[in-house]
Amino acid sequence: MRSIIERLLQDEYDRFSVNHPRSARAHQAALARLPLGVGSSIQAFDPFPVTITRADGPFVWDTDSHRYLDLNMGFGALLVGHRHPRVMRALEEQLELGTLFVAPSLQAEKAASMLAERFGHPLWRFTSSGTESVMTAVRLARAYTRRRLLVKVEGGYHGHADPVLVSGKPSPATWGPASRPNAVADSAGVPDSVLHDTVVVPFNDPDALERAFLRHEGEVAAFLVEPVMENAGIILPSDGYLAKVRALCDRFGVLLIFDEVKTGLTASWSGASGLYGVTPDIVCLAKSIGGGVPVGAFGGREDVMRSIGVSVAHHGTYNANPLVLAAVIATLESTTPEALAITHRINEEFASSVRTLLDTVQDLVPTTVSTIGSKGSVTFSATPPVTYRDWKNSDLLAAELFWLFSTNRGVLTPPGLDEQWLISTAHTFGALDVYLNQLEELVGVLRRS
Ligand code: PMP
């Protein structure tokens, strides 16, 4: 099967290059000015990425005038779709009033109150990205507990700040024992001290977490975890895992930080925290709260959050600027429980159609489909992944074929293979047909091969 997949993939890369001449030229020009020809390394792939010129609702258009169904949706940021009318109106109104005051605005308290209602935390601060939310939460936890160590999950990505660029995508050559993984730097330039200050554990393994807490008793400031892992497809928490994590953190005086940058409102109205009924000490948000603008937020326990400004630094020229907060408020107003329930229903029906089609080639290409709230993902293995290593050991070549085949037929799913699809409030059943039709075509090709 592998050689068939390799051949089909080569055909698809040829077709991609032929059909995207303007993107190819745009990429050549960009290479002269931007490393990898892109503004963020996550946007790069070989032979060149598609250059997008505009977006609307569930669609984007590229510079070669192809229209795509967007299932990537800004890595899940665009829960309300591109150019949601309410978000657009709020932005336009705020443009008239000014974009940056670097002074308090009325929007900050309103947006914080709306997040407090959903997540139960009384105090909030805003940032410009998920990276900044997590980076500040980790600093806050270290300051509050006066402890040094951060425990994180292998395969968990938490942004591109030095303290968390550890074991995000380790390879078998360096990752060490499964139950006690090595701490591996994700980038050159991350100081060795970061590795010494970080302990890595597998996801879904409360015993390994307990052992780590025992080994470093009195030294661990925080356990940083995505309640659902969403940088390795979708890895759901096993039954009771998050509750056990909560209890262990309480027992060892460790702060629990939920990184809900990916889950957030895409998991439920009150995030994965609300869905699983487990309240962290600090929650980090970004992406889905902003309707497509660069924003993040973190909220937490009163006693923890009150350290900010007293002993803990949190600055930022753009934090809580009225322009992005206008979009946040409009997004929060638009993502009602009713609106989200519709996305969840469409997502479940879409996932079940995807499963039905993939089941026809299970003997050739084993797959599992996982969903959470408005998101879904295919893992190319016979059983659902429980840890990062399960995902890493899945058939990533088959994943690449399914991604490129859909790109060539008018659907953008994320290039990273580690991401998931998002059904936004702008996606309709009808719009999703283009994905299902090309999937039917591909499974037909595989069956005949
Ligand atoms: N945390 C998680 C779980 C993420 O997936 C990401 C980005 N994909 C981040 C943090 C960083 O967010 P940003 O890209 O907005 O800095």
Give the Å distance between the CA of 5 and the centre of ligand 1: 31
What is the rounded distance in angstroms from the CA atom of residue 253 to the CA atom of residue 268? Answer: 28
- Model confidence band, residue 1 (pLDDT cutoffs 50, 70, 90): confident
- Closest atom, ligand 1, to C-alpha of 156: 3
The per-residue pLDDT for range 160-186, each reduced to its tens digit, is 999 999 999 999 999 999 999 999 999
pLDDT beyond 80 at 255: yes
Q: pLDDT at position 415, please? A: 62
Assessment of whether the complete model's pTM goes beyond 0.75 = yes
Q: pLDDT at position 417, please? A: 84
What is the rounded distance in angstroms from the CA atom of residue 222 to the CA atom of residue 246? Answer: 11
* Residue range 192-206: mean pLDDT, rounded: 98
- Token pair in block for residue 325: 């907060």
Q: How far is CA 317 from CA 96, 103, 104, 286, 322, in A?
A: 20, 10, 12, 17, 12
Nearest C-alpha to atom 5 of ligand 1 is from which residue? 262
Nearest C-alpha to atom 2 of ligand 1 is from which residue? 158
Q: 261, 298, 372, 418: which to mutate for ligand 1, most atoms within 8 A of CB?
A: 261
pLDDT beyond 80 at 271: yes
* Residue range 315-342: mean pLDDT, rounded: 98
The per-residue pLDDT for range 108-159, each reduced to its tens digit, is 999 999 999 999 999 999 999 999 999 999 999 999 999 999 999 999 999 9
- Closest atom, ligand 1, to C-alpha of 287: 15
- Closest atom, ligand 1, to C-alpha of 231: 5
Nearest C-alpha to atom 9 of ligand 1 is from which residue? 159
Q: pLDDT at position 431, please? A: 96
* Residue range 436-441: mean pLDDT, rounded: 97
User: What mean pLDDT value characterizes the chain?
Assistant: 97
pLDDT beyond 70 at 240: yes
Q: Ligand 1: which residues within 6 Å by Cβ? A: 75, 129-131, 134, 157-159, 226, 231, 259, 261-262, 286
The per-residue pLDDT for range 328-341, each reduced to its tens digit, is 999 999 999 999 99
pLDDT beyond 90 at 345: yes
* Residue range 217-238: mean pLDDT, rounded: 98
Q: 287, 319, 324, 419: which to mutate for ligand 1, most atoms within 8 A of CB?
A: 287
3-state secondary structure string across the chain: CHHHHHHHHHHHHHHHHHHCHHHHHHHHHHHCCCHHHCCCHHHCCCCCCCCEEEEEECEEEECCCCEEEECCHHHHCCCCCECCHHHHHHHHHHHHHCCCCCCCCHHHHHHHHHHHHHHCCCEEEEECCHHHHHHHHHHHHHHHHCCCEEEEECCCCCCCCHHHCECCCCCCCCCCCCCCCCCCECCCCCCHHHHHCEEEECCCCHHHHHHHHHHCCCCEEEEEECCCECCCCCECCCCCHHHHHHHHHHHHCCEEEEECCCCHHHHCCCHHHHHHCCCCCEEEECHHHCCCCCCEEEEECHHHHCCECCCECCCCCCCCCHHHHHHHHHHHHHCCHHHHHHHHHHHHHHHHHHHHHHHCCCCCCCCEEEEECCEEEEECCCCCCCCHHHHHCCCHHHHHHHHHHHHCCCEECCCCCCCCEECCCCCCCHHHHHHHHHHHHHHHHHHHC
- Closest atom, ligand 1, to C-alpha of 296: 15
The per-residue pLDDT for range 41-83, each reduced to its tens digit, is 999 999 999 999 999 999 999 999 999 999 999 999 999 999 9
pLDDT beyond 90 at 233: yes
β partners of residue 354: none
Residue 58 burial (10 A CB sphere; 0-12, 13-18, 19+) = buried
- Closest atom, ligand 1, to C-alpha of 134: 10
The per-residue pLDDT for range 391-427, each reduced to its tens digit, is 999 999 999 999 999 999 999 987 668 889 999 999 9
- Closest atom, ligand 1, to C-alpha of 132: 16
Give the Å distance between the CA of 287 and the centre of ligand 1: 8
Q: What percent of the chain has pLDDT over 90?
A: 98
Q: pLDDT at position 416, please? A: 67
pLDDT beyond 90 at 282: yes
Q: What percent of the chain has pLDDT over 70?
A: 99
Q: Rounded to 5 degrees, what are φ and ψ at 36?
A: 65, 0
